[in-house]
């Protein structure tokens, strides 16, 4: 038997490496291996037990190093039933069984550090087939049939970009993979690179062949050290197998693939800013046109796609564009990977065919909201996206339908919020982010986002005035129309969508000086419930400003004039007598 530990970044952060070491220390009569991200972050660390034929016998979840001896014992004796308490529950297993995995097809199944594990299946068969049987035009045609669109967020047809780069004059062309996954709350690309780096390489090989590039870069976020490490190894192994380098697999096609680590700038997810960064400069976007297909890296024709887009390519070649197009909706084909996080019961990586509703993903796969709380909104598309309210949960996942809500498909971050999340504060959070990440090249973004952030800060701290909402709307329109690049043009989306669906919360903050979700510290009011108070004096002792008075065993009282609303009394009260309203 073989025990395989899920060692993606999340798994390691949850303690997978320690579990691996503990098992290695008691290893006896079984093999031990690793795989990438299984996608069920809420159950990490995960240990899968396989038989000799590679069949999954049992999946153990939330394993601790202390469990290692009895796992080893059970595996040695073939008594897996004794591990019942660690086995995954049926309802949790549904998290995976309800998905359709194409981009993530190997994630959690193969060893990302072993090229043999990739080629044992259909790995590198697609590039071999392409080199033997396809002209570059035929590859582009197949991708066109599949309907694959850019998974980085904008949803631009992939074949169109490839075709433009192919037809662009010039004999030196570049292929670039955008792995600068900057949206906070999104980790799909990281998971693909950490768990299945060869499928990214294979997708890039096919794309490079199609557009006629002989040099390629993967631009990876520096915050993803494990992804960089595994990709480096994968590139080295592919070179050793003549899958990268000169005359690949005996053909006259050559490709040199290099990794460039980003240095931390959200704007570098924008393709022209990314090119600037590749050239060693500050990541400031260029005016388009010329598009990268005409003048990209060092002014040569270049094509940029996202990691997930490339991860679909080999599958499309192996299974045909039509099989891919058979999934999804009229306007959006195939599947999409989402990083489901926030106040969700079952969080992790979810890949589903386009056309499912948000409700099916959040409640069907994710299991709904944690701790019995009420769903309030789901944030999609990160700082460029928006918040979708409960009334629109039956919206289907499709580029067009999601854009109609004011949010966007985005790269795949799906952050779920419950009744305790203040939507005005959420908008402020994103504006704080875009203000810091604005590169400063154009005025509407540099100054506009700053002014918006100031207004939102004023509203959440109780100093808002009724004109603020109008001012915000004016600024939103101005920035959308005037900003140079995608970062600025979409920066108002979190404000626009929250104003559209949660206007009452803005009004409560401004007119009643009240935060309905009780999240904004400056607007909270604390009082002591005289019935519940036992007079233990703990709150009075903890209050940093001496705002609480009362004698021992007598109900206490908070002086609202002195209170600074820090919540210290609320946190320490053991009788639930301090009420926050």
Partner 1 sequence: MRETKCDLGPLRDILRDYEGDDHALIEILQRAQEHYGYLPADVIDEVSRVKGIPTAKILGVATFYTQFRLQPVGKNLIMLCKGTACHVNGADGIEKAVCEELNINDGETTEDGLFTLKTVACLGCCSLSPVMMINDETYGSLTPDKAKEILRGYKEG
Q: Which spans of this chain sit near partner 1 (rule: CB under 8 A)? A: 9-10, 12-14, 41-42, 44, 181-187, 190, 222-224, 260-266, 277-283, 298, 339, 341-343, 347-348, 379, 382, 413, 415-417, 421, 426, 429-430, 433, 437, 439
**Residues in Cβ contact with 350 at an 8 Å cutoff, skipping those fewer than 6 apart:** 39, 95, 99, 337, 338, 339, 340, 361, 365, 366, 414
Distance between the two ends of the chain, CA-based, in angstroms?
57
Smallest separation, CB 82 to partner 1 (Å): 28
Residue keyed to tokens 């959006």: 332
Q: How many whole angstroms separate alpha carbon 41 and alpha carbon 480? A: 36
Q: Are strands 56-60 and 335-342 parallel, antiparallel or unpaired?
A: unpaired
Q: How many whole angstroms separate alpha carbon 251 and alpha carbon 414? A: 43
**Residues in Cβ contact with 325 at an 8 Å cutoff, skipping those fewer than 6 apart:** 145, 146, 147, 333, 334
Cis check: omega of the bond before 370, within 30 degrees of 0 = no
- Rounded to 5°, the CA angle 372-522-498 comes to 60
Question: Based on CB atoms, which residue is closest to partner 1, 158 or 497?
Answer: 497
Tell me if 108 sits within 8 A of 36, measured CB to CB: yes
What count of residues does the chain have? 581
Question: Based on CB atoms, which residue is closest to partner 1, 163 or 505?
Answer: 505
Smallest separation, CB 136 to partner 1 (Å): 27
Question: Based on CB atoms, which residue is closest to partner 1, 45 or 355?
Answer: 45
Question: Based on CB atoms, which residue is closest to partner 1, 265 or 409?
Answer: 265
State the Cα torsion 24-30-36-41 to the nearest 10°: -80
Q: How many whole angstroms separate alpha carbon 545 and alpha carbon 533? A: 20
Q: How many whole angstroms separate alpha carbon 236 and alpha carbon 16? A: 26
Question: Based on CB atoms, which residue is closest to partner 1, 262 or 334?
Answer: 262
Question: Based on CB atoms, which residue is closest to partner 1, 159 or 526?
Answer: 526
Tell me if 198 sits within 8 A of 253, measured CB to CB: no
Q: Give the containing element (helix H, strand E) for 335.
A: strand 335-342
Tell me if 403 sits within 8 A of 384, measured CB to CB: no
- Rounded to 5°, the CA angle 509-514-515 comes to 80
Question: Based on CB atoms, which residue is closest to partner 1, 415 or 543?
Answer: 415
**Residues in Cβ contact with 219 at an 8 Å cutoff, skipping those fewer than 6 apart:** 176, 177, 178, 179, 180, 260, 262, 268, 274, 277, 278
Smallest separation, CB 222 to partner 1 (Å): 5
Question: Based on CB atoms, which residue is closest to partner 1, 42 or 159?
Answer: 42
Tell me if 241 sits within 8 A of 202, measured CB to CB: no
Q: How many whole angstroms separate alpha carbon 314 and alpha carbon 130? A: 10
Question: Based on CB atoms, which residue is closest to partner 1, 339 or 354?
Answer: 339
Question: Based on CB atoms, which residue is closest to partner 1, 70 or 374?
Answer: 374
Question: Based on CB atoms, which residue is closest to partner 1, 248 or 445?
Answer: 445
Question: Based on CB atoms, which residue is closest to partner 1, 105 or 343?
Answer: 343
**Residues in Cβ contact with 344 at an 8 Å cutoff, skipping those fewer than 6 apart:** 362, 366, 367, 368, 369, 370, 416
Residue keyed to tokens 């409560």: 508
Instruction: Specify burial of residue 475 (Cβ count, 10 A radius: 0-12, 13-18, 19+).
Output: buried
Tell me if 380 sits within 8 A of 404, measured CB to CB: no
Question: Based on CB atoms, which residue is closest to partner 1, 243 or 365?
Answer: 365
Smallest separation, CB 531 to partner 1 (Å): 28
Question: Based on CB atoms, which residue is closest to partner 1, 14 or 243?
Answer: 14
Smallest separation, CB 418 to partner 1 (Å): 8
Tokens of 254: 């050559």
């Amino acid at each position: 038997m073989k025990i395989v530990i899920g060692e993606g970044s999340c798994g390691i952060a949850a303690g997978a490496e320690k579990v691996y070491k503990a098992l290695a220390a008691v290893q006896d009569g079984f093999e031990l291996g690793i795989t990438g991200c299984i996608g069920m972050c809420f159950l990490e660390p995960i240990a899968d037990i396989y038989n000799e034929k590679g069949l999954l016998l049992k999946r153990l979840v939330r394993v601790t190093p202390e469990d290692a001896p009895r796992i080893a014992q059970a595996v040695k004796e073939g008594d897996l039933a004794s591990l019942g308490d660690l086995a995954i529950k049926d309802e949790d297993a549904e998290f995976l069984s309800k998905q359709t995995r194409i981009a993530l097809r190997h994630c959690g199944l193969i060893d990302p550090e072993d090229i043999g594990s990739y080629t044992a299946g259909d790995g590198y068969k697609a590039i071999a087939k392409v080199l033997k049987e396809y002209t570059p035009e035929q590859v582009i045609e197949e991708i066109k049939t599949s309907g694959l669109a850019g998974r980085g967020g904008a949803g631009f047809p992939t074949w169109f970009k490839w075709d433009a780069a192919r037809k662009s004059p010039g004999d030196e062309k570049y292929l670039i993979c955008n792995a600068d996954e900057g949206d906070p709350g999104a980790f799909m690309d990281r998971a693909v690179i950490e768990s299945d780096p060869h499928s990214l390489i294979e997708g890039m090989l096919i794309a490079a062949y199609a557009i006629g590039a002989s040099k390629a870069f993967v631009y990876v976020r520096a915050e993803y050290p494990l992804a960089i490490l595994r990709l480096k190894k994968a590139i080295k192994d592919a070179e050793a197998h003549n899958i990268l380098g000169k005359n690949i697999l005996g053909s006259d096609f050559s490709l040199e693939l290099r990794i460039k680590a980003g240095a931390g700038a959200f704007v570098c997810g924008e393709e022209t800013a990314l090119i600037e960064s590749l050239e060693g400069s500050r990541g400031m976007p260029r005016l388009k046109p010329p598009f990268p297909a005409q003048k990209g890296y060092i002014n040569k024709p270049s094509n940029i796609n996202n990691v997930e887009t490339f991860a679909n390519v080999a599958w499309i070649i192996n299974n045909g564009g039509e099989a891919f197009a058979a999934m999804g909706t009229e306007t959006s084909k195939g599947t999409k990977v989402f990083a489901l996080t926030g106040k969700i019961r079952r969080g992790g990586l979810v890949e589903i065919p386009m056309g499912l509703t948000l409700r099916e993903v959040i409640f069907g796969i994710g299991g709904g909201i944690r701790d019995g709380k009420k769903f309030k909104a789901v944030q999609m598309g990160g700082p460029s996206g928006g918040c979708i309210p409960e009334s629109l949960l039956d919206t289907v996942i499709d580029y067009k339908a999601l854009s109609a809500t004011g949010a966007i498909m985005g790269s795949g971050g799906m952050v779920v919020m419950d009744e305790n999340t203040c939507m005005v504060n959420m908008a402020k959070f994103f504006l704080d982010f875009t203000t810091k990440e604005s590169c400063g090249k154009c005025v509407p973004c540099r100054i506009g986002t700053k002014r918006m952030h100031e207004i939102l800060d004023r509203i959440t701290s109780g100093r808002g005035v009724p004109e603020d909402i109008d001012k915000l709307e004016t600024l939103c329109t101005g920035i959308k129309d005037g900003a140079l690049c995608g970062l600025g043009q979409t920066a108002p989306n979190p404000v626009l969508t929250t104003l559209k669906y949660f206007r009452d919360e803005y009004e409560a903050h401004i007119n009643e000086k009240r935060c309905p979700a009780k999240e904004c510290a400056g607007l909270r009011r604390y009082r002591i419930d005289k019935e519940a108070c036992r007079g233990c004096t703990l709150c009075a002792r903890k209050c940093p400003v001496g705002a609480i008075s009362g004698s021992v065993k007598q109900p206490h009282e908070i002086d609202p004039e002195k209170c600074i609303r820090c919540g210290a009394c609320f946190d320490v009260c053991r009788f639930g007598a301090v009420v926050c309203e």
